[in-house]
Amino acid sequence: MGAARDRVEIGLVVYPGVQQAAVLGLTDLFQLANRLAADRSPDSPRLRVSHWQWQDASQTVIRSFDSEPGPGNGPAMIILPPTLGDPIARETAAPYADWLRARHAAGATLGSVCAGAFVLAETGLLSGRAATTHWAYRNALAMRFPDIALDADKLVIDDGDIITAGGYMAWTDLGLKLVDRVLGPTVMMDTARFMLVDPPGREQRFYSPFAPRLNHGDEAILKVQHWLQARGARDVTLATMAEHAALEERTFLRRFRNATGLKPTEYCQHLRVGKAREMLQATTRSIDQIAWDVGYDDPGSFRKVFARITGLAPGDYRRRFGAERTAVAGERS
């Protein structure tokens, strides 16, 4: 076993509502990486895994688990795992935020997964910085912390001293990224192969469906949204949308973007691609046929729009998510 100076401590914060499966999964991932690193080199650094939680008696955050008890300077990296429930209340997160700020000031790298970003954001350290969270929490995080440069299409955003991961299971991506930092890419790949998970590099938009804003309060725009949904956004123009809203075109453009966050053309593209994703998953129709079915005269244009929105070519999307993955073998992406 290496000397204490060769151990890098990674702390996992066990805040109220945290998903214990992720806490234990990350603990196992780091201990597995230790074993695989030692198999390659007995002199390899080791990961020391600790759990931290608030203690009322001492009014501070304390270490509640330590994989390698002994002296040390505290965690060099701290992770806020996900939760499956509602985002943590601000008053509940406040004591953790104070501790996280102090650890960050002492040089620790901070990371979050999924709704763990709400705890991290309470520190103020995400202000003006790029970050991600689970797509289902995107609007809630943006409303509570509007100064974050939120990009929920990304599964992991590594900003050096702060790393945020989006999807609930993205704790594997964040864990592997930290293994890469400390133990190197070879051990990271060994760990990913052993766990049968993809190494970091996926994007959240591969998985997230289009969830349009509908609770914006603009009745004229909501009427158009319902109309577009019903017809699959096929054969529509700016003029017909504005007419359906009973608005002048310039006014319609402004109000539509304010309400939905998208231009009308972008909104229609998302609706069409959403329908195409369903067809790619559930049918064996050719990609060209799907393009025509969702309203594209040019399948080449459809492929470009699909790739831009989802991050995958249609053929790659079908191979990854389709129910009949072998039925279209050899089809061009």
Residues 68-91: pLDDT tens digits? Answer: 998 888 999 999 999 988 999 999
Q: How confident is the model at residue 202 (pLDDT cuts 50, 70, 90)?
A: low
Using a CB cutoff of 8 Å and minimum separation of 24, what contacts does 248-257 make?
A: 255/218, 255/220, 255/221, 256/221, 256/224
Look at residue 79 in the predicted model and tell me its pLDDT.
98
Let me know whether 243 and 201 are in one domain.
no
Which residues fall within 8 angstroms of residue 263, CB to CB, at 6 or more apart? 253, 256, 257
CA neighbor of 55 nearest in space, from 113, 100, 102, 16:
16
Let me know whether 106 and 187 are in one domain.
yes
Let me know whether 247 and 123 are in one domain.
no
Last-in-domain residue among 153, 180, 206? 206
Last-in-domain residue among 206, 231, 252? 206
More confident residue, 192 or 327: 192
Let me know whether 47 and 155 are in one domain.
yes
Let me know whether 293 and 167 are in one domain.
no
Average pLDDT over residues 14-34: 97
Let me know whether 224 and 202 are in one domain.
no
Domain range enclosing 188: 7-206
Q: What is the pLDDT of residues 100-141, one digit of tens each?
A: 999 998 889 999 999 999 999 999 999 999 899 998 999 999
Look at residue 154 in the predicted model and tell me its pLDDT.
83
**211 occurs within a structural domain:** no
Q: How confident is the model at residue 1 (pLDDT cuts 50, 70, 90)?
A: very low
326 pLDDT higher than 50: no
Residues, the chain, total? 333
Let me know whether 155 and 243 are in one domain.
no
Q: Supply the CATH number for residue 304's domain.
A: 1.10.10.60
More confident residue, 204 or 323: 204
**1 occurs within a structural domain:** no
Counting Cβ atoms within 10 Å, is residue 66 exposed (0-12), middle (13-18) or buried (19+)?
middle
Q: What's the CA gap between 61 and 59, in Å, rounded?
A: 7
Let me know whether 238 and 136 are in one domain.
no
Average pLDDT over residues 196-216: 72
Which pTM does this prediction carry? 0.66
**331 occurs within a structural domain:** no
201 pLDDT higher than 80: no
Last-in-domain residue among 179, 206, 233? 206
Let me know whether 56 and 142 are in one domain.
yes
Total domain count, the chain: 2
Strands 60-66 and 46-55, bridge-based pairing: antiparallel
Helical H segments across the chain, by residue range: 20-40, 90-105, 116-121, 138-144, 171-183, 185-195, 219-231, 238-245, 249-260, 264-282, 287-293, 299-310, 314-321
Q: What's the CA gap between 41 and 250, in Å, rounded?
A: 66
Let me know whether 235 and 191 are in one domain.
no
Q: What's the CA gap between 172 and 30, in Å, rounded?
A: 10
